[in-house]
Amino acid sequence: MIIQSGEIIGIIGGGQLARMMCFEAHKLGYKTCIFSNTSDSPAFYVTDAKIMGDYSDISLIDQFIDMVSVVTFEFENLPYKTLEYIEKRTLMRPSSKALYISQDRVREKDFINQLGIKTTNYQEIKTLHDLKDTAATYDYNALLKTVQLGYDGKGQFSINKNCDIETIYNQALQSKVPLILEKKVNFIKELSVISARDKDGNIACYNAVENIHQDGILRKTIAPAHISDDIEQKAQTIAKELIAGLDYIGVLSIEFFLDENKNLLVNEFAPRPHNSGHFSIDACYHNQFEQSIRTTIGLPVMPTNQHSKAEMINLIGNDILKAEELSKKPFVKLHNYDKKEIKTNRKMGHYTTIFP
């Protein structure tokens, strides 16, 4: 089924990803309706219609469904039951299946391993005894994480030989969600691949990119990554196997560790466009947000070729105060997310430097 031009695409979530999805929807001749639980959502300023309220409010969800022809979403931390409810009543791409899997780190890694794809070593932690035993098995070189609701370094606790494991365990329990211990990887690069799959099963993958994090937050993406052709092909193959294994329609991002033995280990995936794919707006013929809209409305995926090498830098917190200065530089593409309040560690925008 292809959604006709002029119809309304419903997007759940109102952050910068939804904002950029709106831009691409409008270019293709579609209207958008944003459903967000935050009154100052950046996407509210660029959409045709909006609904503000709790994601579990079924009366508002019904109103949303009646307004749109198809539904998609821009982030994972949504009530699964809400998306399941929507999916039973209207067309939604991607499906709730991928979101359900991605919302739980144990469930996610189990699924990836079942496809024959390698991940980091991990163990679900149910007791302090579990944590102590597994930490010893991992030679006290691990990360204790919340199974749910962790992002941008939140819900993560480093485990080493000098730490007080019991104190860390009690601190992690305050999140009131299950826990997982992951063995740290001696990686040489953090990589990601953005892939897109349409309703007919056609898959298009962008080149792998190299990501540099600080305090668990992505700071810089180098596109394409400085890796061998062999590693590039392996990353692309894994991306295709995973997106097909999910029977997925939409844009999927996969984060990898490249370890010192040149093994690719999947860290996690996200069922949506991704921060590390922002380079594609200015460095590719067809960007990840266009692919997201195209797959949502039923159009085929487009080529992922880059016309320029690029580096993307996130503007975090007060970094956004450099916006005016950056806008004066040649070959720099500034993207201000129009967030009204500057907060520490908040992604306020990004810029991409193009190397023609």
Return residue ranges of the chain for CATH 3.30.470.20.
187-355
- Average confidence (pLDDT) over 219-232: 98
Residue 203 tokens read as 């898959």
Interior angle at CA 63, CA 59 and CA 66, nearest 5: 140
Between CA 336 and CA 60 the distance in angstroms is 30
Q: Tens of pLDDT along 155-214?
A: 789 999 888 898 998 888 887 788 999 999 999 999 999 999 999 999 999 999 999 999
Between CA 79 and CA 60 the distance in angstroms is 14
Alpha carbon 321 to chain centroid, angstroms: 25
- Average confidence (pLDDT) over 113-133: 94
For 121-183, CATH gives 3.30.1490.20
Whole-number Cα distances in Å, 198 to 12, 293, 300: 20, 10, 6
- Residue 154's pLDDT band (cuts 50, 70, 90): low
Return residue ranges of the chain for CATH 3.40.50.20.
8-92
CB under 8 Å to 25, separation ≥6 — which residues? Answer: 9, 31, 32, 293
- Residue 153's pLDDT band (cuts 50, 70, 90): low
Q: What phi, psi does 243 have (nearest 5°)?
A: -65, -35
In the prediction, which pLDDT does 176 show?
78
* Burial of 201: CB neighbours in 10 Å, binned 0-12, 13-18, 19+: exposed
- Per-residue pLDDT at 138 exceeds 70: yes
Residue type, 187: F
User: Looking at the domain 8-92, which fold is it?
Assistant: Rossmann fold (3.40.50)
Return residue ranges of the chain for CATH 3.30.1490.20.
121-183
In the prediction, which pLDDT does 356 show?
87
- Which candidate, 267, 273, 255, places its Cα nearest to that of 210? 255
Whether omega for the bond prior to residue 300 falls within 30 degrees of 0, making it cis, is: no
In the prediction, which pLDDT does 208 show?
98
- Which candidate, 79, 86, 71, 38, places its Cα nearest to that of 55? 79
Contact status, residue 149 vs residue 174, Cβ threshold 8 Å: no
Q: Tens of pLDDT along 26-45?
A: 999 999 999 999 999 999 99
Residue type, 166: E
Q: Tens of pLDDT along 256-308?
A: 999 999 999 999 999 999 999 999 999 999 999 999 999 999 999 999 999 99
pTM (2 d.p.):
0.94
Q: Tens of pLDDT along 302-351?
A: 999 999 999 999 999 999 999 999 999 999 999 999 999 999 999 999 99
- Average confidence (pLDDT) over 229-240: 98
Residues shown for the chain: 356
Q: Tens of pLDDT along 38-91?
A: 999 999 999 999 999 999 999 999 999 999 999 999 998 899 999 999 999 999
DSSP type of residue 277: G
Q: What phi, psi does 227 have (nearest 5°)?
A: -140, 165
Domain 187-355 part of CATH 3.30.470.20? yes
Q: Tens of pLDDT along 92-112?
A: 999 999 999 999 999 999 999
Mean pLDDT in the chain?
95
The four Cα atoms 350, 243, 70, 26 give a dihedral, to 10 degrees, of: 30
Concatenated DSSP letters of 172-219: HHTT-S-EEEEE---EEEEEEEEEEE-TT--EEEPPPEEEEEETTEEE
Concatenated DSSP letters of 96-164: HHHHHHHT-HHHHHHHHHHTT--B--EEEE-SHHHHHHHHHHTTT-EEEEESSS--TTTTEEEE-TTS-
Q: How many helices (H) and strands (E) does the chain have?
A: 11, 17
- Per-residue pLDDT at 152 exceeds 60: no
Contact status, residue 79 vs residue 13, Cβ threshold 8 Å: no
- Per-residue pLDDT at 215 exceeds 90: no
Between CA 128 and CA 165 the distance in angstroms is 8
- Which candidate, 270, 243, 272, 237, places its Cα nearest to that of 255? 270
